[in-house]
Structure 1
Amino acid sequence: MVTIYDIAEATGYSAPTVSKALNGLGSLSEETRQRIINKAKELGYEPNISARTLTTKKSYLIGVVYDDTGMNKGFSHPLFSPVLNRFREKIEAAGYDIIFLSRHFNMTYFSHANFRCIDGVIIINPATNNASDFDDFIRTNLPRVSTNTIFKDICTVITANEQGGYAAAEYFINHGHKKIAYISAPVDGISAAPTERYEGFKSALKTYNLYDEELYELSATWDKESAYEAFGRLIKRRKDITAVFVTNDQLAFGVCDYAKDHNIKIPEDISVIGFDDDFAAEYAGLTTFRQSANEIAEISAQMMLDQIDGKTVPPIIRCRPELIERNSVKTIRGFRLF
């Protein structure tokens, strides 16, 4: 097995200099660093991770909390999957690997993190609706970032949900709608999206004196079957609605399924706006909001690396969603769109 001493002998540099070059440390010139790295490759050097960890007191592992017990999308989620992919690319480019943290074998996320000696953790989507499960992460100095849940003292990079909700309501209003409903995903204390999007939506309706609290309906879960039932309750209670904004696209698809089964035409009878720009949204012709997955991931990675370097990071960063216009919203006849 090739060691740093073999590389030192072959290059003429000291072993500590070789170590610095291979670990990206020290103030070596780029020419020196590259010469050592090239010789290491030529000799077939493979780094000893255990020795590296002992030397640097770092594991070069970033823990990932990514579970899915309620959305039934797994790694195909339209936001979380691309966030994970881009985050991994940025973190690996900085010399780190990722490892998934689970709550199996009677371990908490935090105990699993300690067991793996990780250098930081990103909370993308947890398999719990109990925010206290992350209290230990909040109390520790471990670098941490969240991309879905807002925790006190954990840097969060998240979509500007209220802005999206406001824009959805205003879009309907600008197309002549006045009876505008909202179907919410479960408000579980973990995902901020359902509440924040509704708050923005409600704010816009109040601005235009159109808010009606009876036009709110709660879906039991995040899947389209529950949204199917929720929209059924809503439309039976208030047959005068002409538009509905839905927390995410999966719930919007449930609305579309109910409409199809009950001869309600979209957008002629009911207009629909979703959120996420799910893979099927384009084929369904659904007007929706696309979250900036790459921006969220890149900022999250930078916030992680900044914390590892001892820098202070902001408590929350919001990324603006983009409205994707398709054909699920009708302009009310006689209304002039400006």
Structure 2
Amino acid sequence: MRRVDPSRSAGAQSAAMVPGIEDVARVAGVSTATVSRALRGLPNVNALTRARVREVAAELGYVASPSAVSLASGRTRTIGLISPRIRRWFFANVIEGAERTLRERGFDVLLYTFNADLPSSRAAVDPEVLRRRVDGVLVVGLPLAPEEMDALRALGQPLVCIGWGGYGQVTVRLDDRGTAEAATQHLIALGHTRIAHITGAPEDIAPWSPPVERAGGYRAAMTEAGLPVDPALEAHGNFDVAGGRAATRDLLDRAPDVTAIFAASDEMAMGAILALRDAGRRVPEDVSVIGIDGHDLGELVGLTTMAQPADEQGAAAAQIVLDMIAGAAPPPELVYPTVLVERGSTGPAPSAPRAVD
């Protein structure tokens, strides 16, 4: 991402100390236009002149400014990255993976973020802030309305969605439904029948979105096992620790006989563990808990999880958008599996229901 080093002020280096294209042209005995063509690898420069210009540029330490290269090529060498948040585990890891890949290839990242904690009232994505400033766009974990997607496509730049897609857009994502089914099946295999599910926010109803797909996978696994799908066993946790904690308290009030909780993210699962401890419930002796992500703190709290490579997804999406800029045809979708990581938060269902005070 773009960063400014305040120690390198305008006065730190005088123009006289920094060689310019005119200096290269004077020493090489050619015009500045020839220097520009030679260093950019353009035609109409003979091999001897090209070699001479490059040799002089190297001797003088001349480096063409990125802005000059951008103007000449029509490229900004910048990728716009739209994300509703940056501090949560998934978003932070995806952004880090994407930025690392882009930086290694000489591209900068222009981050466009905003408060999306209240999806129903958030401002619409405005693609005009990206126009003529980026060569491609990555959208991280943000379900978009059809008109927002159309507006982004109207930029005429390669567009890749991460963690959510739809509308036929190029997408890098997790196998959300399969992951949720596997997490629920893990609990069922341990003998649990009263399994609760903590999902995202009530507003998370967009098709193809992770909360919708994960809730669908949970219900499918319950149905396949012949277990009832009880709305009283589903709660909204807003994909954070505080939300998971509050949701678990509500679940225990409505269904005190619950013996297992599948949370759609590790952060909500951590909140669930806190709420269970608040209520005097032992994990996993009384209630088992499983999440999705592979959060860095999962091992510390002994959380069983369905681990996903979020940074790899960011890196893959960045590479796809670069390939699209170069003219390559992208895959319509790149789907990542997850791996069950068993720790101490899941165990066999209790042989008898725990007495409820």
Q: What TM-score, normalized to structure 2?
A: 0.78
The reply to whether residue 83 of structure 1 matches residue 89 of structure 2 is no
In 2, Cα distance between the equivalents of 1:188 and 1:34? Answer: 59
The equivalent of 2:138 in structure 1 is 122
Picking from 299, 308, 311, the partner of 2:316 is: 299
State the alpha-carbon separation in 2 of the partners of residues 236 and 192 from structure 1. 29
Tell me which moved more, 317-326 or 205-214.
Answer: 205-214
What is the CA deviation profile of residues 212-269 of structure 1, one whole-angstrom value per residue up to 9, with x for unaligned ones? 2335423153333332232222222223321110011221122112111111111000
Inter-partner Cα distance in structure 2 for 1:23 and 1:206: 62
| Unpaired stretches in structure 2, ≥5 consecutive residues | 1-17, 116-122, 352-357
Q: CA offset at residue 151 of structure 1?
A: 3.6
Let me know the Cα RMSD of the aligned residues.
3.3
Partner Cα distance (2:210, 2:320) in 1: 21
Distance verdict in 2 for CA 1:16–1:250, change over 3 Å: same
Change (3 A) 1:101 1:36: farther
Change (3 A) 1:294 1:250: closer
Cα distance, 1:304 vs structure 2 = 0.3
How many equivalent residue pairs?
321
2:344 and 2:238 map into 1 onto residues whose CA distance is 26
Residue ranges of structure 1 left out of the alignment (5+ in a row): 69-73
Residues of 2 paired with 1:12 and 1:294: CA distance? 49
Partner of 2:67: 50
Summarize the Cα distance change of 1:218–1:23 in structure 2 as closer, same or farther, 3 Å threshold.
farther
Give the superposition deviation at 1:130: 4.9
Counterpart check, 1:97 vs 2:108? yes
Q: Within 2, Cα distance between the matches of 1:286 and 1:99?
A: 35
**Percent identity over the alignment?**
29
1:320/1:21 CA distance change after superposition, 3 Å: farther
Which residues of 2 match residues 41-190 of structure 1 at below 5 A? Answer: 41-68=58-85, 74-75=86-87, 77-102=88-113, 108-114=125-131, 116-126=132-142, 130=145, 132-186=147-201, 187-189=203-205
Question: C-alpha distance in 1, partners of 2:349/2:36?
Answer: 70
Contact 2:204 2:211 in 1 (8 A): no
Equivalent residues of 2:198, 2:237 under 8 A apart: no
AA of the residue aligned to 2:151: D
Moved more, 305-314 or 38-47: 38-47
How far the C-alpha of 1:286 sits from its partner, in A, is 0.7
- Report the Cα offset of residue 37 of structure 1: 6.3
Give TM-score scaled by structure 1 length: 0.82
**Is the Cα contact below 8 Å between 1:103 and 1:109 reproduced in 2?**
no
